[in-house]
Amino acid sequence: MQTVEQLQQGWSAAPGSPAKRGVVKAIGVRRGNEQHEVAESVELTVEGGLLGDRWAAGEDPKRHSQLTLMNVTVANLIAHVGRAGYQSGDNFFVELDLSEAALPVGARLRIGTALIEVTPEPHTGCAKFMARYGKDALRWISEKENRPLRLRGIHAEVIEAGRVAVGDAIELQG
């Protein structure tokens, strides 16, 4: 596990993520009971979110938290993703600028053939995140100056159903 300083240095040295048009680098399906599967492609529906994901099985699933997206560079910095797999519990690991400046609440993204919308639901680190990646990773993503960057990622809801595969383009609409 890296220190806050190492994470910040890694982020500062990383090439910037593209704004407006990016790519899906990995897909995760949260099956429940801490089980995460990597998928090559998935279906998104307005009612069910990502089919097979634990979101729809919740007692009262809220549409504003149907999906989660995380920047793949951040995921690689905190989790050494290339070796350990995507276990942070996010649905889409993307090469895209997820900051508030690039994607304000209400921004719509075409992801594969689906259309999703960024919701106001904050995506913050939790006890599971800290257990997986350590206190420093949680502190780094939570620092006041980093909050607008949305290093932990974003929540989104499905506006139009469709299919999403690894390698698909993500495009800001409008």
pTM over 0.95: no
pLDDT in tens, 136-160: 888 888 999 999 999 999 999 999 9
What CATH code would you report for 4-159?
Answer: 2.40.33.20
Cα-based angle 61, 86, 131 (whole degrees, multiple of 5): 80
Domain parsing of the chain, residue ranges: 4-159
CA distances from 154 to 1, 6, 53, 107 (A): 23, 23, 17, 11
Q: pLDDT (tens digit, 9 = 90+) per residue, 57-86?
A: 776 678 888 999 999 999 888 876 554 456
